[in-house]
Structure 1
Amino acid sequence: MFNFKIYTYLLFLVLFYVECRSAPEPLCSKFSYDEQLLEKMVRVEFNVNNMEKNMLETEQNMRETEQNMKETEKNMLETQRGMLETQKNMLKSLNEIEDKIKVLEQKEAPAGKDVVAFHAYKAADKTLANNQVIVFTKVIMNEGDGYSSSNGYFTAPISGIFYFNAHLCVQNGKSLEYIIVVNGQTRASGLYKANASGTCTSFSVTAHMRSGERAWVTIDKSGSSSSSLLYEDSDDWNYFSGFLIRQLD
């Protein structure tokens, strides 16, 4: 900046010298020369000071602009970090929601055993002893694999409320007490006596069972002879069926 002032002074001295050479003699007297030189130097000094001031202001503005740009960049980086953090939290929330949905689905449908139903017919033994489990050997449906055609027991694969129905056809003139047993307890029973031509009866019960408990059909012969009690043909079937109404924990 100091060199710029010196160059400016020299430039004006040269211009002033040229002007004095072309002016009349009285104009270029020593007093007039000094006065005009001083005036020009003052103007030059003023202009130089203004230029220096403007340059300083421009430099300050550039620094402020640079600082503002740095602040803007910082804010943008913070905003970007905030957006990434928000995205991360959203993904975490979505994963948590998906996990909760999976847990609920597993509770509502444990291992595919939420459907339990069976239907079996054809009594293996028609000459029955008291409290003998009636085994129905022909299985039409066994969703949940709860019924066994080898021993006549239904074993609950899950805990819940179940509905059972049995149908027995009795020989002419014979009578018996039909019984549905759930976990060792009689839950449905009744005395039935067939007329001269023989007939059938149905009975049912709703029971709360825990996983692993069993249900079955049996009879009490009520003084009937040891001959065949049940009969069966293409129209009259002996059968045992049941299904899950609602699963319980």
Structure 2
Amino acid sequence: MIRTEIKVETMVNENKKTEDNVINTLGDIKQTVADFMHMFADMRANITNEMLKRGDEIKWREESFKKLFDVIRKNITSDIEVQKEELIQLKGKLEQPQIAFYAHHVKDLALDSTDEILIFEKTITNEGTGYDTSTGLFTAPVGGLYQFDVHTCPDKGKHVCLGLVLEGKVIAAHANDAVDTYGCNTFGTVIIVKSGEKVWVKSTLSCSICQLFQNSRSMNTFSGVFVNN
């Protein structure tokens, strides 16, 4: 009987130890779980903060890139506009017509009629074919700014009075006397001429001593050149 009681008591003690071990183990597990959850919470907080930090950094980088891109875009746009304008101007210069004439050798040297048109029969240059050697008239192929020059040589002891005419209106005039020798002189002007308008040289005075002279060393000439439109 006593042995049985001792055995039962021993079993009870063993069960008590086992129960204590289980309780302690469960406590350890609970603490481990609690520690893990705390560590997980810290990790999650750290990750969240890091993500927020990275998000702010990414946002700042995006804004900086956008500002830089806007500056570059504006500069490129400005450069393109400048180059476009330069190309337009260059295109205009390339498309600008080449108009120029240089006529010489007056058909009638005796200026015995007022308003007589001087006809220069020969041309060295007639780009644009604006000058007519049969009439002495220059007809502007295009409108714009032109420069005209008249070079004449009165005969020795003679006199000339000439005018440069645009559509019937004298726009430049000249008088020249060659008293003792031959004396050539030049006059001219720069003026706007409309497309189709005519320019010529005429005598503004008729007299018995109004006479031109010309040879290989003394040429009477009428010239004009298109400057721009």
**Which interval holds the TM-score relative to the shorter structure?**
0.5 to 0.7
Match of 1:236 in 2: 218
SS at match of 1:41: helix
Match of 1:41 in 2: 26
Superposition TM-score, scaled by structure 2 size? 0.66
Q: What percentage of residue pairs aligned between the two structures are identical?
A: 21
Match of 1:135 in 2: 119
Show CA shifts across 1:20-48 (max 9, x none).
xxxxx799544444334323321222123
Q: For the structure 1 residues 51 and 220, does the alpha-carbon distance in structure 2 shift closer, same or farther, using more than 3 Å as the test?
A: closer
Gaps of 5+ in 2: 1-9
Structure 2 distance, partners of 1:110, 1:184, is 33
Is the 2:105–2:122 Cα contact (8 Å) retained in structure 1? yes
Aligned pairs for 1:110-121 (under 5 A) are 111-113=95-97, 117-121=100-104
Aligned pairs for 1:72-91 (under 5 A) are 82=66, 86=70
Match of 1:54 in 2: 39
Structure 1 distance, partners of 2:129, 2:156, is 35
- Counterpart code for 1:137: E
* Superposition CA RMSD, Å: 4.4
Quote the offset at 1:204 in angstroms: 0.5
- How many residue pairs were aligned? 216
Q: Which of 234-243 and 180-189 deviates more?
A: 180-189
Structure 2 distance, partners of 1:56, 1:229, is 118
Q: Is the counterpart of residue 183 in structure 1 residue 167 in structure 2?
A: yes
Structure 1 distance, partners of 2:171, 2:120, is 19
Quote the offset at 1:123 in angstroms: 1.4
Quote the offset at 1:121 in angstroms: 1.0
Is the 1:176–1:224 Cα contact (8 Å) retained in structure 2? no
Superposition TM-score, scaled by structure 1 size? 0.61
SS at match of 2:81: helix
SS at match of 1:170: coil
Match of 1:10 in 2: none
**Greater RCO, 1 or 2 (C-alpha within 8 Å, sep 6+):** 2
Is the 1:180–1:186 Cα contact (8 Å) retained in structure 2? yes
Show CA shifts across 1:88-134 (max 9, x none).
66655444333333344456x38323x65432211133345432221
Match of 2:194 in 1: 211
Structure 1 distance, partners of 2:178, 2:19, is 153
